[in-house]
C-alpha cells in the first residue's frame, strides 16, 4: 500500500484529487477503489469531481431528484 500512498500524494499536491484519478490509481495498483478512498481519508486528501456527485456542494430537494 505504500506505493498507492505515494501515487496519491504525487497526484494531489494541493491535497485534492479527482475521483477519476482515484479510479486510475486503483487500476494501476490492482486494488479496490474503496481502499484508495480509505487511503485518501488517512492522508487527508479530498476527492473532487465525484463521478456519482457524492462530494459536490449542490444540494437536491425532493423535486430535483429524478424519478426511477
Give the residue extent of every domain in the chain: 2-64
- Secondary structure letter of residue 64 according to DSSP: G
Question: What is the Cα–Cα distance from 17 to 36, expressed in whole angstroms?
Answer: 11
Tens digit of each residue's pLDDT (9 = 90 or more) over 24-60? 999 999 999 999 999 999 999 999 887 766 655 444 4
Question: What is the Cα–Cα distance from 5 to 47, expressed in whole angstroms?
Answer: 14
pTM equals: 0.74
pLDDT band at residue 14, thresholds of 50, 70 and 90?
A: very high
In this structure, what C-alpha cell is assigned to residue 41?
481519508
In this structure, what C-alpha cell is assigned to residue 29?
495498483
Crossing angle of helices 33-42 and 19-28, in 10° steps, is: 120
pLDDT greater at residue 41 or residue 62: 41
Amino acid at each position: 500500500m505504500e506505493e498507492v500512498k505515494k501515487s496519491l500524494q504525487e497526484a494531489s499536491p494541493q491535497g485534492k484529487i479527482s475521483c477519476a484519478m482515484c479510479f486510475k490509481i486503483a487500476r494501476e495498483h490492482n486494488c479496490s477503489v474503496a481502499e484508495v478512498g480509505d487511503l485518501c481519508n488517512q492522508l487527508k486528501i479530498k476527492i473532487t469531481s465525484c463521478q456519482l456527485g457524492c462530494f459536490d456542494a449542490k444540494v437536491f430537494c425532493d423535486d430535483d431528484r429524478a424519478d426511477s
